[in-house]
Chain A
Amino acid sequence: MPAAPDLNLDHVAKLARLALTPAEKAQFASQLGDVLHHIEQLAKVDVTGIEPTAHAFPVVNVWADDVAQPGLSVEAALRNAPAQREHMILVPKVVE
């Protein structure tokens, strides 16, 4: 564990694609500092040789037959799209 939590909020917010206001940054830095300080105690646990648990009851190799199933119509699939035209979702230009 790091000796002291060094949470760089600008960096993490960028990774999370989340725009934060200066007030939010100040508030989160303080609140998450408390939470991270609490979390530091996990460093006390001896986990030598312990396997990680991702799921309590792992189910592996779940296969489905490769058969076409009825699905959503284009109209139903696009019903919640914020902007659309000709059965496509409109997005800001990504290539100059």
Chain B
Amino acid sequence: MAAELFFKSIEELGALLEAKQLSATELMRTVIARRQAVDGRVKAFNSSDDADALAQAAASDARRAAGQARGPLEGIPVGLKDVIAVAGQPLTASSKMLANFVSPYDATVTVNLKKAGAIVWGRLNCDEFAMGSSTENSAFGPTANPWDLARVPGGSSGGSAAALAAGEVCATLGSDTGGSIRQPAALCGVVGLKPTYGLVSRYGLAAFASSLDQIGPLTRTVADAALMLGAIAGHDPHDSTSFKAEIPDYRAELKKRQGPWRLGIPKEYFGAGLDPAVGAAVEQAIAFYRAQGCTIKEVSLPHTQFCLDTYYIIATAEASSNLARYDGIRYGHRAKGAKDGVDLYAQSRAEGFGPEVKRRIILGTYVLSSGYYDAYYLRAQKVRTLIRQDFLKAYHEVDALLTPTSPMPAFRLGEKSDPLALYLCDIYTIGVNLAGLPALSLPCGFTPAGLPIGLQLIGQPFREADLLAMAHTYEQAHDWHTKHPSL
């Protein structure tokens, strides 16, 4: 049986729209109906403006009828993590602090998606201010994993991954500071791409850790990720860390780049703590690439054991600074009955932020405070240099690195109540953010219990085209991406 309409890829839907066998309005109505049918159980959406989406769909149909279709995303509903600004729509960051906030402007990625014809729809749940690995830290309640509703979808972009896996939207955007696109993509059985730092503008993204944050797509297929990246990537004068990189036609490059590649297997990513089913699935993927003629080489990233600590110093330091803006004065939650200005800040923040955000603000403030700055923050920045050098040295010998995305498949809601245990979920993804590299997670199998497993490919800076081609080669020979949860 052919896949349900709501499980089709952007490419398949684009062909139907192009052939006028489907209208954007019909597609939008299908997706809205699917959301109404399943989101009571999945809880991936914080909110959605269906009337606005249908108006965008009607405008898309009118453009196509007039021969003015904009691009490969014309008429495709794309959902956004609730940390990315859409003018006139709520942006909560899944926090009580921004429960009533309405974005005054579009993020650059939102502008770019609309320019490519996409219907920007839905505010997707996440960990509060993108801080977490399970979407349990949302002030609006956790999202469930569509493959097993008793389990987490991963995080922090858990709503983006779950909504896609559940067929509630055709593609989504997430943000990735330490694995927040790739880990939920792995746990929900979809493709997730974290671009090179600076390739995609951060303008209009609620800041968590500015030197690590990147926006990227979650999609059903690698080709769809190529289409989405092509739409959102590019230099933006509104983001002073935006890089002037050349943007190829990523979709066209998939066919031009056939390998064989030299793939590095970092031995530190296959140690204790790796779930046996995950390890076995990744070994199978390595065997596939070897059979394709790729050179497989064991490499070492000797500072891997220090990534977690380095990350939690740098990310919390930057977060404590970024979140200082939430003071109850200009926007966001304001406490009542404060006795003076400083008390207003402290009370508004106490009422507006949830426990994990408070913990990270405290840790970040501590590592930046007088007497501890050199010992923690400055030292972490130096270790960051060594971590980055590890990757760049490995790229003298190999084109990309191949690892598991997450050490374990989706765990049960409430299973990891200890913050440190949750932090350890990110051990295979955070090094990439510290080094600013592009990386992609794609489905590579299922556990015996039927939970998706993700394979991570880590590429060289600004060489997303190679990374996507490597992933596409694997995907063409496997059918994991054609399997969907039954809801």
Q: Which residues of A contact B (CB under 8 A)?
A: 1-2, 7, 9, 11-13, 15-21, 24, 27-28, 31-32, 34-36, 38-39, 41-43, 45, 47, 50-57, 59, 62, 64, 72, 76-77, 79-83, 89, 91-94
Residue B420 at the chain A interface, CB threshold 8 Å: yes
Q: What residues on B are CB-neighbors of A39 within 8 Å?
A: 309, 312-313, 376
Query: Smallest distance from the beta carbon of A48 to chain B beta carbons, Å?
Result: 9
Beyond A45-B383, A53-B385, 20 additional contacts (C-beta under 8 Å) are A17-B346, A18-B362, A31-B359, A31-B419, A35-B363, A38-B420, A42-B376, A43-B375, A47-B379, A47-B386, A50-B385, A52-B378, A53-B381, A55-B436, A72-B104, A77-B104, A80-B332, A81-B330, A83-B334, A91-B329
Q: Is there contact, CB below 8 Å, between A82 and B331? A: yes
CB A96 to nearest CB in B, in angstroms, measures 10
- Can you list 30 residue pairs at the A/B interface with Cβ under 8 Å? A2-B375, A9-B362, A15-B369, A17-B345, A19-B346, A31-B418, A32-B362, A32-B366, A35-B420, A35-B423, A38-B420, A39-B309, A41-B306, A42-B309, A42-B313, A45-B306, A50-B385, A51-B382, A52-B378, A52-B384, A53-B381, A54-B211, A54-B381, A55-B436, A56-B461, A57-B196, A80-B100, A82-B328, A82-B331, A91-B341
Q: Which residues of A contact B334 (CB under 8 A)?
A: 82-83
Closest Cβ–Cβ distance, residue B208 to chain A (whole Å): 15
Contact A47 B240 (CB under 8 A): no
Q: Chain A interface: which of B4-12, B59-67, B226-234, B347-355?
A: B347-355
Q: Say whether A59 contacts B347, CB under 8 Å.
A: no
Which residue in B241, B305, B343 is a CB contact (below 8 Å) of A59?
B241
A53 contacts B419, C-beta separation under 8 Å: no
Please classify how large the interface on chain B is, using the bins under 10, 10 to 19, 20 to 34, 35 or more.
35 or more
Tell whether, in the assembled complex, residue A80 and residue B102 are in contact, meaning their CB atoms are under 8 Å apart.
yes
Partner of A38, one of B308, B435, B436: B308
Query: Do residues B102 and A56 form an inter-chain contact, with CB atoms below 8 A?
Result: no
Whether the Cβ atoms of A38 and B461 lie closer than 8 Å is: no
A-B pairs with lowest CB-CB distance, top 6: A56-B436, A52-B381, A80-B331, A82-B334, A19-B350, A47-B382
User: What is the count of residue pairs linking A and B with beta-carbon distances less than 8 angstroms?
Assistant: 174
Query: What 1/0 flags go to B219-262 for Cβ under 8 Å of A?
Result: 00000000000000000010011110000000000000000000
Query: Is A59 within 8 A of B379, CB to CB?
Result: no
Chain B's closest residue to A47 (CB) is B382
Do the beta carbons of A57 and B312 come within 8 Å of each other? no
Contact with A1, one of B243, B329, B362, B375 (Cβ below 8 angstroms): B375
Which residues of A are found within 8 Å of B339, using beta-carbon distances?
92
Within 8 Å of chain A (Cβ to Cβ): is B51?
A: no
Residues of B near A89 (CB, < 8 A) are 329-330
Interface membership of B101, Cβ < 8 A: yes
A11 to chain B, nearest CB (A): 8
- B328 near A28 (CB under 8 angstroms)? no
Give min CB distance, B306 to chain A, whole Å: 6
A34 CB to nearest B CB, Å: 5
A58 shortest CB reach to chain B, Å: 8
Q: What is the bound-complex CA distance between A28 and B359, given in angstroms?
A: 7
Closest Cβ neighbor of B310 among chain A residues: A42
Query: Which chain A residue shows the least CB distance to B461?
Result: A57
Please provide the chain B residues from 303 to 324 with a CB less than 8 Å away from any CB of chain A in the complex. Answer: 303, 305-306, 308-310, 312-313, 320, 324
Where chain B touches its partner, the secondary structure class is helix
Q: How far is the CB of A45 from chain B (nearest CB, A)?
A: 5
Contact B241 A55 (CB under 8 A): yes
Which of B345, B363, B386 has the most chain A CB atoms inside 10 A of its CB?
A: B363
Q: How far is the CA of A30 from the CA of B159 in the complex (A)?
A: 30
Give bound CA distance, A38 to B358, whole Å: 19
A17 touches B327 (CB 8 A): yes
Assembled-state Cα–Cα distance A43/B347 (Å): 36
- B-chain residues with CB within 8 Å of residue A76 when the two chains form the complex: 104
Instruction: Select one of A12, A21, A35, A77 contacting B312, CB under 8 A.
Output: A35
Given A18, A56, A72, which contacts B435 in the complex, CB threshold below 8 Å?
Answer: A56
Contacts of A79 in B (CB 8 A): 102, 104
Q: Are A47 and B436 in contact (CB under 8 A)?
A: no
Distance A11 CA – B361 CA, assembled complex (angstroms): 13
Residues of B contacting A92 in the complex (Cβ-Cβ under 8 angstroms): 338-341, 344
- Residue of A7, A17, A51, A72 contacting most chain B CB atoms (<10 Å): A17
Nearest to A94 among chain B residues (CB) is B341
Tell me whether B429 is interfacial, beta carbon within 8 Å. no
Cα A17 to Cα B208 with chains together (Å): 18
Q: Point out the residue from B320, B372, B419 that lies within 8 Å of A2, measured CB to CB.
A: B372
CB-CB under 8 A from A36, the residues of chain B are 363
Q: Within 8 Å of chain A (Cβ to Cβ): is B23?
A: no
**Residue B365 lies at the interface, judged by CB distance under 8 Å to chain A:** yes
Q: Which residues does chain B contribute within 8 Å of A80, judged by CB atoms? A: 100-102, 104, 330-332
Q: Chain A: which residue is nearest B342 at the CB level?
A: A17
Residue on A nearest B437 in the bound complex, by CB: A56
Q: Tell me the complex Cα distance, A57–B347, Å.
A: 38
Partner of A19, one of B313, B349, B372, B419: B349
Q: Which residues of B contact A35 (CB under 8 A)?
A: 312, 363, 419-420, 423
